Amino acid sequence: MKKLQSEVADLERQLDILNDGQGARVTSLLKELTELIPPTAYLTTVSMRGRRVTIDGQADMASDLITALDKSKTFRNVTFSSPTTKAGDKERFSIVAELAR
């Protein structure tokens, strides 16, 4: 029961973010990521706290994502938040960046 209550609270918190005028900002962020992330990569988690974005996923070459995000006008100070690891033929990554605007 506590786990379910925790999940409900988390979902309500996420809805509050979208209802606080953040919806357009989140939509813009997701659109930008969709355009920047190559089709050979996929994201498992995207989280945003203030102006800080954390992106987790898998890619053929995770370092290529750093380059792509760094060239974008949307992101700055793009770095890995932990070492990449091999997962089959992909690299598992966690990237953190600041929103430029």
Among the listed residues 30, 41, 32, 34, the one whose alpha carbon sits nearest the alpha carbon of residue 63: 41
Count of domains in the chain?
1
Query: How far apart are the C-alpha atoms of 11 and 14, rounded to whole Å?
Result: 5
State the residue range of the domain holding 21.
Answer: 2-99
Residue 75: CATH number of its domain: 3.30.1360.100
Share of the chain above pLDDT 70, in %: 88
- pLDDT tens, position by position, 22-71: 666 777 888 889 899 998 899 999 988 888 999 999 999 999 999 999 99
pLDDT for the residue 49:
85
